[in-house]
Chains A and B, each alone.
Chain A
Amino acid sequence: MRKLGLIVKREYLTRVKTKGFVIGTLAVPLLGLAFCLMIVFLVNHKTESSLRFAIVDNSDGLSQSVVQGLNSKLEDGKPEFVVEQTFVRPADSDAVQTDLRNKINAGTLDAYLLIPAKNTDSFELHMRNPDNFSQIGPLSGALDQSVITQRLSQQGVHVDDLKSVLKGADLKLLKVSDRGEAEEKGQSIGIAIALVVLLYTSLLMYGIITMRSVIEEKTTRTMEVLISAVRPFELLAGKILGVAAAAFTQFAIWMTSTALLFSYGALAAMGMGGKSMLSGVHVPPSLILYATLFFFGGYFLYSAMFAAVGAACSNEQDAQQLQWLAMGPLVFCMIIYSVILNDPSSKMAVILSEIPFFAPVLMSLRISLQTPPLWQIALSLGLLVLTTIVMIWLSAKIYRVGVLMYGKRPSLIEMARWLRYS
């Protein structure tokens, strides 16, 4: 136990003291803050200058109602759209259009709108930059409204307040759970996806860190010195626990800063005039508890697998070929998760989430969407713990043989044979 403690301590300190760790740990919250601020800025940002445009109206006066609909204002109070000229049923439409195109190229005009004779034909907007969606949106809306009004009145329907008639039904989504009902605003899916991504990336990232650390001891030939002092199992366990301690330190810092960011970030967002996107997001404590349990199980399972891969390889190149063994199940989770998102209690979802290699990600996902029966959670967790213990035992065997093997990358058959060596 004393030796295990020494190994954990060394692994932890050498990791936490690196520049990479300090920078990474601080940079993520800062980048997150910058990202939030940027989104808030972009959401609130509108085009600065008015769109100067002309209308070539081949219909019988539709341009009037279009112009009336274009009443949106810029932040500084100026109108967003300025109609410079209107040509109603010009004699030579082509000549007028050529002239307008010249003006656009000369920069004295931004665009011109061509209204067809019949409102069932296409309208055309000619401009230098047709990808400017923020301006095309309101213009297109005004066109829709004018055309619909015109058609209705052509059929003899008189509509004073079109908006009130066309207003759609308001559908509220309510999530039923054993704690009663709560209004669903899409946050369950948001939390679920965030959880899947978080579990996937952290299991993968720390697994690979563990693998690299084993390979480093092999390439620097530190291994034999170490295993002349400690048992390979102690070395393996110490490494996994040491990396885990560093990982949780980083996580704790990230979580704390994210919590601060959420509260201050939401305030900042509201201060800048945007609606807080985060209000109403509520993560149930039971989900945090379960996700943590599954994360721990998954962490030890995958770390043991990655450590075994590292022990079997002599260098990073070999490891890149062999690491799919450990990465495969995780990648599969990312491919399959949308199926479970659609129907979290389907037979396939239940079966997949009971398989220990998928359980950390997929069972957490199911819990976040629709809490499954307790027995399913307990069974999944139980199987995960059992598999993890077996995997650590197997990895320790591969580790014991592999750490002293240099040279050719072993085949899977050779690795299986290592398990028989005492």
Chain B
Amino acid sequence: MDAITLEKVSKSYDSVAAVSNVSVRVRQGSIFGLLGPNGAGKTTTIRMIMHILVADEGSIKVLDKPVSDETRDLIGYLPEERGLYPRMKVRDIIVFLAALHGLTEAEAGRRADQWLDKLGLGEWKSKKLVDLSKGMQQKVQFITSVIHEPPVMILDEPFSGLDPVNSATIEEIIMEMKGKGATIVLSSHRMDQIERMCDAICLINKGQNILDGDIRSIKESYGKNTVQFEFTGPDTFLKSPSIEKLTRLGNGAEAKLKPGADSQEVLRAALQAGANITKFELMYPTLNEIFIERTTRA
């Protein structure tokens, strides 16, 4: 069964089309990356799934039920536009939102304490939200969107504003929730994280679904056309006519080869030029690469 199904969904504001004819399926129990440049229509799509906005055309289902006020309770939602009542106490606000999602206040309180301890916020529970650092507020916000243990979660930029340690903690929790059978839709601009965590993605640009499927099969469709070097010494070989696009890295470079070019040719040229190669890897293009290529294509 699919956790979320969008079938030919369109939505426009006055005459501007925000989303047009988008169809997407999110497999139950998977982590799904919803990608796209700023203003592509991701937020509108998410709001339609949340039934905050209503689609002009097409149908949206969550766990096989057409979206409604009731399906909203099946989804834990961390919006990109986020914020909480600044003058409320941390624990109170978590309990309030958990109760709105259907927990009893006693149960909400018990879970709030567990989560606050788990994310290292135990001693902050009776402080006002304004007194917390931005990263801590982010963690509180994350708790409020998952505390009712919904079967589906939509997390819009869950890592923004978090340091690497907190980011890793949240990533771990998301993987843990997947392990328990939850479906997670992840929207993020951090392609490395998407690549590491997601099973499938959908790339939206200018309101349209321009690419979707399993990450592995998407990459395989591009073939191993990218070479990553690490080297010291001369770099003249990087001007080889076989290289279509070059990205300099700290101690090397990433080169996208022209169609039909031989990677071994490039390696030989490098050695001849006198470069000391410490790493040479032929690989699939990164998601970042694919993202940039597909969204900047005319």
- Chain A residues within CB distance 8 Å of chain B: 3, 6-7, 10, 14, 217, 220-231, 404, 406, 417, 422
How many Å lie between the Cα of A236 and that of B14 in the bound state?
A: 25
Contacts A/B (CB < 8 Å), 5 sampled = A220-B83, A220-B84, A222-B83, A225-B141, A228-B72
Whole-angstrom distance between the Cβ of B112 and the nearest chain A Cβ? 15
Whole-angstrom distance between the Cβ of A15 and the nearest chain B Cβ? 11
Closest 8 CB pairs of A and B: A221-B83, A229-B100, A224-B79, A228-B77, A220-B83, A422-B54, A224-B81, A221-B81
How many Å lie between the Cα of A226 and that of B53 in the bound state?
A: 14
How many Å lie between the Cα of A404 and that of B96 in the bound state?
A: 21
Whole-angstrom distance between the Cβ of A416 and the nearest chain B Cβ? 13
Residue from B47, B79, B84, B88 within 8 A of A14 (CB atoms): B88
Whole-angstrom distance between the Cβ of A314 and the nearest chain B Cβ? 12
How many Å lie between the Cα of A61 and that of B255 in the bound state?
A: 123
How many Å lie between the Cα of A221 and that of B75 in the bound state?
A: 19
How many Å lie between the Cα of A226 and that of B100 in the bound state?
A: 9
How many Å lie between the Cα of A406 and that of B47 in the bound state?
A: 15
B279 within 8 A of A: no
Residues of chain B in range 140-161 having any CB-CB distance to chain A below 8 Å: 141, 144-145
A222 touches B85 (CB 8 A): yes
Given contact pairs A222-B84, A224-B52, A3 touches B100 in the complex (Cβ within 8 A): yes
Residues of chain B in range 20-74 having any CB-CB distance to chain A below 8 Å: 47, 50, 52-54, 69, 72-73
Chain B: number of interface residues, binned into ranges: 20 to 34
B85 touches A228 (CB 8 A): no
Chief secondary structure at chain B's binding surface: loop
B86 within 8 A of A: yes
A228 touches B79 (CB 8 A): yes
- Chain B residues within CB distance 8 Å of chain A: 14, 47, 50, 52-54, 69, 72-73, 75, 77, 79, 81-88, 96-97, 99-101, 141, 144-145
How many Å lie between the Cα of A221 and that of B72 in the bound state?
A: 19
Name the B residues within 8 Å of A220 (CB-CB): 83-86
Name the A residues within 8 Å of B84 (CB-CB): 220, 222, 225
Q: Which residue of B lies closest to A233 (CB)?
A: B69
B101 touches A229 (CB 8 A): yes
Residue from B82, B87, B99, B100 within 8 A of A221 (CB atoms): B82
A227 touches B52 (CB 8 A): yes
B144 touches A6 (CB 8 A): no
Name the A residues within 8 Å of B82 (CB-CB): 221, 224-225
How many Å lie between the Cα of A7 and that of B100 in the bound state?
A: 8
Given contact pairs A404-B47, A417-B14, A229 touches B85 in the complex (Cβ within 8 A): no
How many Å lie between the Cα of A14 and that of B128 in the bound state?
A: 13
A14 touches B50 (CB 8 A): no
Residue from B79, B86, B99, B141 within 8 A of A6 (CB atoms): B99
Q: Which residue of B lies closest to A230 (CB)?
A: B100
Whole-angstrom distance between the Cβ of B143 and the nearest chain A Cβ? 12
How many Å lie between the Cα of A417 and that of B14 in the bound state?
A: 9
Name the A residues within 8 Å of B53 (CB-CB): 404
Name the B residues within 8 Å of A223 (CB-CB): 81
How many Å lie between the Cα of A226 and that of B50 in the bound state?
A: 12
Given contact pairs A6-B99, A6-B100, A220-B85, A229 touches B79 in the complex (Cβ within 8 A): no
Name the A residues within 8 Å of B99 (CB-CB): 6
Name the B residues within 8 Å of A3 (CB-CB): 100
For the A-B complex with A224-B81, A225-B77, A230-B100 known, give 10 more contacts whose Cβ atoms are closer than 8 Å.
A222-B84, A224-B52, A224-B79, A225-B82, A225-B84, A225-B97, A226-B100, A228-B50, A417-B14, A422-B54
Name the A residues within 8 Å of B100 (CB-CB): 3, 6-7, 226, 229-230
How many Å lie between the Cα of A222 and that of B100 in the bound state?
A: 14
Given contact pairs A220-B84, A422-B54, A229 touches B47 in the complex (Cβ within 8 A): no
Name the B residues within 8 Å of A225 (CB-CB): 77, 79, 82-84, 97, 141, 144-145
Whole-angstrom distance between the Cβ of A396 and the nearest chain B Cβ? 13
Whole-angstrom distance between the Cβ of A205 and the nearest chain B Cβ? 21
Q: Which residue of A lies closest to B54 (CB)?
A: A422
